[in-house]
Chains A and B, each alone.
Chain A
Amino acid sequence: MKYAIEAEGLVKRYGDKAALDGVDLRARTGAVLGVLGPNGAGKTTAVRILATLAAPDAGRALVGGHDVTRHPARVRELIGLTGQYASVDEKLTGTQNLVLIGRLLGLSRTAARARAAELLARFGLEEAAGRAAAGYSGGMRRRLDLAVSLAGRPRILFLDEPTTGLDPHARGELWDVVKELTADGVTVLLTTQYLQEADRLADDLLVIDRGRVAAAGTPGELKALAGGHRLDVRPLHAADVEKAEAILGVKATDGTLTVPVHDLAMPPAVLRRLDDAGVVLAEHALRLPSLDDVFLTLTGDTR
């Protein structure tokens, strides 16, 4: 099967507001599909439909080849879900949470305990194994949540903003886990607001804005959408920023001005004009567009 997840024309309305307004998406088997979008773009709604938690008002979706509305039980045998909210039982210990899910999935008591121990070790939670999850830190809870969603060895994993609210260290750990999973052939659908995360993990990207697909492609293709190189210049003196803005015709963000580069003769010319005007630069750099630039181009949203 080429695509582990395939959806066409997904529509979901809440009242008269359309959370999803005709979304198509495809995740290649064994790859990471990053779904990127600002808050309220419809990312979570899409995940809930694909994970059989919500029914679409229109459109259809196949997960692992099974229709999510007609054969949800089949889909549930293949998937794991980690939501934005940590959906572990806080009153249970780490071990108990994992044993519970293992038992529900039909493992024997011994097998469920062994699987729990294995997952706790993998996620560095051995020491906290016997403590109630209520006392876990945000990062530990997220790791336990991920461990729980892996208890049934899912072939398709949904991660809904898995690193929101995590510190950089915990975020890095989670990224490593995702990479290990894809190495095992697991298909991952990951939603995120962090461009850096999408750039780092995703093989393919889908940008959603206001319930619609704004763009789809590989990170490289999307960056190409935003055009060629960029020139960043940062005047040394804050007083010169306005002068530089007038010369280059762009607004500065945090004291840095970014101009799109159409041909490579342009950067020296720009620098010369600034120099002529007496603007001393602290920094200048020529770079490829980042996903931030893509986002800005596609959604008109300043991040």
Chain B
Amino acid sequence: MTTTPVATAPRTTASLTTTPMTTALSQGLTLAWRSLIPLRNSPGQLAGLLFQPVFMIVIFVYLFGGAAGGDRAGAVAYMLPGVLVQVALMATITTGMNLATDIGNGVFDRFRTLPIARSAPLMGRILADLLTLVITVAVSLAVGYAVGFRVTTGPLGVLAGVGLVLLMAMALSWGSAWIGLVAKSVSSMQGMATAVLLPLTFGSSAFVPATDMPGWLVWWMDLNPVSHLAAALRGLLGGGLRAADVWITLGWTAGLLALFAPLALRAYTRKVR
């Protein structure tokens, strides 16, 4: 048989991690590009991505904000950071869904038969989702501006606030990836992730302050990291920041990451062997 000299560098035996870092990174970037293509191929996908923040903001500001007593400027100032957090966190579902889709239809197995870095498919997924998230957050801020939301702090506040949201979303993405890797199907993945994220985002003080509510709900809202994330973002964009909210958010983020990243990585290594 003619053994084609495929490897440019001589590889040592046995190890699975002989792929050089730069090669692994470029493969990850290629796979991230692949994950973003559908946005370009089908206008519907892109529209769907942009529609969600627009829809949420309009619903909350005009529908619920209007019902809350007519103070629209106040409603916008309170709710927009909440909506932004909600949209960003719900978007983390796609990480697991896309992984589950790739596993279900054999695309993942195709990647596994290629001589590429074992980590590349997961890395590509996370990079692509991070970029999508940045787009979502930027759109949310732009729509917020259009409906009257104003940043009163400054660019640093915006950067810190957006960074905080992205960090928490990243931590949850790992959870989403883990569910996506162990779920039996795409729909069961979606069901599980929604069951976790809905109470987390809506059962928080992101949209309404925790006043005039039953004690158990106030207790839960105060415990819920999403409440603190929304409050921190509100403070970083509009002033009146409570440092505690930032610390509690960071603490939760670290905790979630410490829990989910190893779980996801373990499930992933089992899949890619």
Question: Which residues of chain A come closer than 8 Å to B31, judged between CB atoms?
Answer: 100, 104
Identify which of B1, B3, B16, B120 contacts A73 (C-beta below 8 A): B16
Determine whether the beta carbon of B14 is less than 8 Å from that of A71.
yes
Determine whether the beta carbon of B1 is less than 8 Å from that of A101.
no
Query: At the interface, yes or no: B113 with Cβ under 8 Å from chain A?
Result: yes
A29 and B2 CA atoms in complex are apart in Å by 10
Determine whether the beta carbon of A79 is less than 8 Å from that of B27.
no
Type the 1/0 row for B100-120, where 1 means its CB is closer than 8 Å to any CB of A.
000001110111111110001
Q: State the Cβ distance, B102 to closest chain A Cβ, in Å.
A: 8
The answer to whether residues A87 and B105 also contact, given A55-B273, A152-B114 and a CB cut-off of 8 A, is yes
A53 and B11 CA atoms in complex are apart in Å by 21
Determine whether the beta carbon of B110 is less than 8 Å from that of A77.
no
Determine whether the beta carbon of B3 is less than 8 Å from that of A85.
no
Please choose the segment from A89-97, A208-216, A264-272 that sits at the chain B interface, where 4 or more of its residues have CB less than 8 A away: A89-97
Query: At the interface, yes or no: B34 with Cβ under 8 Å from chain A?
Result: yes
The answer to whether residues A73 and B41 also contact, given A53-B109, A81-B110, A155-B4 and a CB cut-off of 8 A, is no
Query: At the interface, yes or no: B38 with Cβ under 8 Å from chain A?
Result: yes
Question: Which residues of chain B come closer than 8 Å to A125, judged between CB atoms?
Answer: none
Query: At the interface, yes or no: B46 with Cβ under 8 Å from chain A?
Result: no
Question: Which residues of chain A come closer than 8 Å to B2, judged between CB atoms?
Answer: 155, 185
Identify which of A29, A90, A91, A104 contacts B1 (C-beta below 8 A): A29
Query: At the interface, yes or no: A287 with Cβ under 8 Å from chain B?
Result: no
A293 and B127 CA atoms in complex are apart in Å by 56
Question: Which residues of chain B come closer than 8 Å to A105, judged between CB atoms?
Answer: 114-116
Determine whether the beta carbon of A64 is less than 8 Å from that of B3.
yes
Determine whether the beta carbon of B107 is less than 8 Å from that of A87.
yes
Determine whether the beta carbon of A85 is less than 8 Å from that of B13.
no
Query: At the interface, yes or no: A200 with Cβ under 8 Å from chain B?
Result: no
Question: Which residues of chain A come closer than 8 Å to B112, judged between CB atoms?
Answer: 52-53
B residues 1-19 in Cβ contact with A at 8 Å: 1-4, 6-7, 11, 13-14, 16, 18-19
Determine whether the beta carbon of A4 is less than 8 Å from that of B107.
no
Query: At the interface, yes or no: A148 with Cβ under 8 Å from chain B?
Result: yes
A52 and B33 CA atoms in complex are apart in Å by 26
Chain B contact residue count (CB 8 A cutoff): 35
Query: At the interface, yes or no: B42 with Cβ under 8 Å from chain A?
Result: yes
A29 and B111 CA atoms in complex are apart in Å by 25
Question: Which residues of chain A come closer than 8 Å to B59, judged between CB atoms?
Answer: none
Determine whether the beta carbon of B6 is less than 8 Å from that of A132.
no
Interface centre among B14, B37, B38, B42 (most CB of A within 10 A): B37
Determine whether the beta carbon of A77 is less than 8 Å from that of B7.
yes
Question: Which residues of chain B come closer than 8 Å to A65, judged between CB atoms?
Answer: 1, 3
A236 and B109 CA atoms in complex are apart in Å by 53
* Secondary structure dominating the interface of A: loop
Q: State the Cβ distance, A195 to closest chain B Cβ, in Å.
A: 26
Residue of B nearest to A86 (CB): B106
Determine whether the beta carbon of A93 is less than 8 Å from that of B41.
yes
Interface centre among B2, B23, B113, B116 (most CB of A within 10 A): B113
Determine whether the beta carbon of B14 is less than 8 Å from that of A70.
yes
Query: At the interface, yes or no: B30 with Cβ under 8 Å from chain A?
Result: yes
Q: How large is the interface on A (under 10, 10 to 19, 20 to 34, 35 or more residues)?
A: 35 or more
Determine whether the beta carbon of A132 is less than 8 Å from that of B41.
yes
Determine whether the beta carbon of A81 is less than 8 Å from that of B115.
no
Determine whether the beta carbon of A76 is less than 8 Å from that of B27.
no
Q: State the Cβ distance, B258 to closest chain A Cβ, in Å.
A: 30
Identify which of A30, A76, A100, A106 contacts B34 (C-beta below 8 A): A100
Q: State the Cβ distance, A113 to closest chain B Cβ, in Å.
A: 14
A249 and B7 CA atoms in complex are apart in Å by 64
Residue of A nearest to B19 (CB): A73
A80 and B6 CA atoms in complex are apart in Å by 14
Question: Which residues of chain B come closer than 8 Å to A96, judged between CB atoms?
Answer: 34, 37, 41
The answer to whether residues A87 and B106 also contact, given A72-B273, A103-B30 and a CB cut-off of 8 A, is yes
Query: Using a CB–CB distance below 8 Å, which chain B residues touch chain A?
Result: 1-4, 6-7, 11, 13-14, 16, 18-19, 23, 27, 30-31, 33-34, 37-38, 41-42, 105-107, 109-116, 120, 273
The 9 closest A-B pairs by CB, nearest first: A87-B106, A91-B38, A85-B106, A87-B110, A76-B115, A1-B1, A77-B6, A77-B115, A103-B30
Query: Using a CB–CB distance below 8 Å, which chain A residues touch chain B?
Result: 1, 4, 29-30, 51-53, 55, 64-65, 70-74, 76-81, 83, 85-93, 96, 100-101, 103-106, 132, 148-149, 152-153, 155, 185, 187
Q: 18 extra interchain contacts, Cβ-Cβ under 8 A, other than A93-B41, A155-B4?
A: A73-B18, A74-B11, A77-B4, A77-B115, A78-B6, A81-B110, A81-B113, A83-B106, A86-B106, A87-B107, A91-B41, A92-B34, A92-B37, A92-B38, A100-B30, A103-B30, A104-B27, A185-B2
**23 A–B pairs (Cβ distance < 8 Å), ordered by A:** A51-B113, A53-B112, A64-B3, A72-B16, A73-B18, A77-B4, A77-B6, A79-B113, A81-B109, A81-B110, A83-B106, A86-B105, A88-B110, A92-B38, A92-B41, A96-B34, A100-B34, A103-B30, A104-B30, A105-B114, A105-B115, A155-B3, A187-B1
